[in-house]
Amino acid sequence: MADVIIVGGGISGTAAAYELARAGAKVTLFEKGRLAGMASGWTLGGVRQSGRHPAELPLARAAVATWATLGEELGADVEYRRNGNLRLARTPDEVEVIRALVRDQKAAALDIEFLPDNRAVRGVAPALSERILAASFCASDGHANPEAAVHAFAAAARRCGADIRAGVRVERVAVAGGRVRGVDTAEGTVAADIVVIAAGVHANELLSPLGLKVPMTVPLVDVIQTEPLPPLLAPVLGVANADCAGRQEASGRLRFTGGLGQLHRDVAAWQPAELQPTAGALSEVIGLVSSILPAFGAARVTRVWGGLIDLTPDALPVIERASEVEGLVLACGFSGHGFCLGPVTGKLIADLALGCPPRLPLDAFRRARFAGTHARGDLALHG
């Protein structure tokens, strides 16, 4: 018997396990694969406020403030670096997109600046191409190591008494009399009054039998990692139309992603081998990144992989306590940019699970906003 069961071993689930366990709840987390095995592991790892939807900006602000001391709190090196975020313009049309982004985010009181020419952009990141026309720069943004952060949350949750079970598949959420009773797993049934679905692209596999659904498409994003290089790039990079993004890790490796790829329709049946990018997709990413960071084209690639995104129609997550089933909490649909929010998402999940008023407004993240909506969302900068 647990007080709260969490399904999903990414940053949202492990952060929630930590927050709930240190609040005194008896928590069990199930992850059918390995911790950080899906979106929280492949993600770029950006920790940013810039480029956020207005509804998400308060969460991002709170998260960035938390990241500053997160490693110390969790007792682990999460490789957090606060070296800014550049979003680049490569064409005159993209210059206007970036100019509008800066104007809107300044109006939302974000400390962000418009860099009007190549000289100003390369003053922040000298290794960038001379072809870059302009950029936005948010100095308070940064990046961290996704896998290290997830494992740090899981370890801290365990120290607080949480039971973290990787490699155990939750087969269904048990419901009776309109309320959660626990979950059925491959290892048996575990009772609980609260179940948190933080399962990313797999969320609907558990919600559909309950008559619930979070509308999402599941595109593939290609990721390329190079050999370690000397210090080359301090800020995280994005571009105006989100067709590539990247950073230099603490290890010195460059880690870049492409834009939205093919849609995966049968997510339940995916196999790791299916997530390998095609040669054509990799060539496209290499070309795009090399055009903004010439050194990337000369670097030796050491690893490539693909990641699936739980992309909602408005590219915002669902964070709510479901009204249809008492005791069911949803935290999914983070649309490729939930990593930064993880520390705050964990606190919000804990609030909802414990029946406390959420510490930040969540009205914008309810499923009710999707009534009659079928459009595909737009990708923002990963992380």
Place of tokens 């709170």: 62
Q: Is 19 strand, coil or helix?
A: helix
Compute and round to an integer the Cα radius of gyration of the chain.
Answer: 20
Tell me, yes or no, if the two domains 2-71+146-215+313-370 and 92-139+219-308 fold the same way. no
Q: What is the predicted pLDDT for the residue at 378?
A: 53
Cα end-to-end distance, the chain, whole Å: 35
As a CATH number, domain 2-71+146-215+313-370 is 3.50.50.60
Distance from C-alpha of 378 to C-alpha of 335, rounded to nearest angstrom = 9
pLDDT digits (tens, 9 = 90+) for 38-63: 877 778 899 999 999 999 999 999 99
Contact call for residues 47 and 140 (beta carbons, < 8 A): no
pTM metric for this prediction? 0.94
Q: Mean pLDDT of all residues in the chain?
A: 93
DSSP state of 76: S
Q: Where are the domains of the chain?
A: 2-71+146-215+313-370, 92-139+219-308
Tens of pLDDT along the chain (383 residues) come to 789 999 999 999 999 999 999 999 999 999 999 999 887 777 889 999 999 999 999 999 999 999 999 999 999 999 999 999 999 999 999 999 999 999 999 999 999 999 999 999 999 999 999 999 999 999 999 999 999 999 999 999 999 999 999 999 999 999 999 999 999 998 999 999 999 999 999 999 999 999 999 999 998 889 999 999 999 999 999 999 888 999 999 999 999 998 766 555 555 555 554 578 888 888 999 999 999 999 999 999 999 988 889 999 999 999 999 999 999 999 999 999 999 999 999 999 999 999 999 999 999 999 999 987 554 555 554 45
Cα-based distances in Å from 13 to 40, 304, 345, 349, 378: 10, 26, 9, 9, 25
- E strands in 71-155: 85-89, 113-115, 134-138, 142-143
User: Can you give the pLDDT at residue 377?
Assistant: 52
Provide the 8-state DSSP code for 167.
T
CATH topology of domain 92-139+219-308: D-Amino Acid Oxidase; Chain A, domain 2 (3.30.9)
Q: How far is CA 160 from CA 24, 104, 150, 154, 219, in A?
A: 8, 42, 15, 10, 36
